[in-house]
Amino acid sequence: MNRICFFDTKPYDRIYFDLLKEQYNIEVEYFEPKLGSKTAFMAKGFEVVVAFVNDKIDADTIDILYENGTRLIAMRCAGYNNVDFKHAFGKIHVVRVPAYSPYAVAEHAMALLQTLNRKTHRAYTRTRDFNFSLNGLTGFDLHGKTMGVIGTGKIGRIFIDICKGFGMNVIAYDPFPLKDTDIQYVSLEQLCRESDIISLHCPLTKDTFHLINNNTIAMMKNGVYIINTSRGALVNSEDLLEALKAEKIGGAGLDVYEEETELFYEDMSYSIIKDDILARIISMPNVIVTSHQAFLTKEALHNIAETTLLNCRGYYNNKVLSNEVCYQCSKGEACPKGQNEKCF
């Protein structure tokens, strides 16, 4: 039976991997720590390592993995901005799960907006204490409002459909607009000027890093709402905090945060949070922060486990790694991978 090791294990991960592993003739060794240069030694003897979005897969980590026999990193997520692909190229193949449930993420984005707008989280807390006052719970109709969607991949398009179901006017920005669609594309500047709510659904790249910053915020309407279920570093957190304090931004629903690596997915309730920006943002009554849980549905977890195990089995059976990403792939350059070949 083929063996893989699994970093940053959570109980909900094990349920679906344990359910499917025998079907794919794979034995899984689960490790609780995140993958990084200080924990990579644990993978010694494992040809395949399963990693996640907040693992630190830098040059040092890759070198240790490679020296100890690892030849495949299977990311159990769609994102891979935490991988040093240039250093991995020629040493370790990297595969990912390109899609698991775009509905899960899009629906969570709308849940954040609905909760933030109608303040159901605050109402729930009040009524638990038998406080039935409505003071301070006023929201606004989504119907007729303008939603600005940045990024029109699968998740972005599903979110657009959800917004249209609420009767919202939707405009979108994407540097690579889709052809033959009814999506109303505009420039980033126009989107910032006209949107009542802006929702981020784009990948993190050098071009989208801190896409939401002082300059773009200054273009926005007073009281605009920001929703981010993509990657934390799309938003400059310091600029967001200042805009919230100045009431330029009326509310923010964040499932991600740019310095989340050591915090999210962990119980920090008994710890002193040293990140003053995050602590201040969370303390604000017009902000909701969830801990990168937008993907967390039964369907998504099943699909993640299934695709990850398929990727691993493909490697062990010397099959084409259809979900492989390499340095050239990630840079948009010509990848040497042929139709029935690996990236190197």
Architecture of domain 2-100+297-331: 3-Layer(aba) Sandwich (3.40)
Mean pLDDT of 291-305: 96
Confidence label for 147 from pLDDT (cuts 50, 70 and 90):
very high
pLDDT at 151 over 90: yes
CATH classification for the domain delimited by 102-289, as one of 3.40.50.280, 3.30.1330.30, 3.30.720.110, 3.40.50.720: 3.40.50.720
* Amino acid 331: pLDDT: 56
Tens of pLDDT, residues 64-110:
999 999 999 999 998 888 999 999 999 999 999 998 999 999 999 99
pLDDT of residue 201: 97
For residue 330, pLDDT over 90 is answered with: no
Q: pLDDT: is 342 or 151 the higher one?
A: 151
Domain extents in the chain: 2-100+297-331, 102-289
pLDDT band at 340 (very low <50, low <70, confident <90, very high): low
Using 50, 70 and 90 to split pLDDT, how confident is the model at 333? low
pLDDT at 320 over 70: yes
pLDDT, tens only, 242-291: 999 999 999 999 999 999 988 998 899 999 999 999 999 999 999 999 99
pLDDT category of residue 63 using cuts at 50, 70 and 90 = very high
Looking from the CA of 111 toward its CB, the CA atoms found within 13 Å total: 14
Residue 229 phi/psi, 5° resolution? -120, 20
In this model, does residue 338 exceed pLDDT 80?
no
- The strand pairing partners of 226, in sequence order, are 198, 252
Name the residue with higher pLDDT: 339 or 120: 120
Asked if the domains 2-100+297-331 and 102-289 are classified in one and the same CATH topology, the answer is yes
Cα separation of 60 and 100, whole Å? 30
- Whether the per-residue pLDDT at 173 is higher than 90: the answer is yes
pLDDT at 328 > cutoff 90: no
Confidence of residue 336 (pLDDT cuts 50, 70, 90): low
What is the spatial distance between Cα 306 and Cα 63, in angstroms, rounded to a whole number? 28
Closest CA to 161 of 177, 176, 175, 172: 172
Question: Which residues are catalytically annotated?
Answer: 231, 260, 292
Q: How is 223-278 classified by DSSP, letter by letter?
A: TEEEEE-S-GGGB-HHHHHHHHHTTSEEEEEES--TT-TTTTTS--TTS----HHH
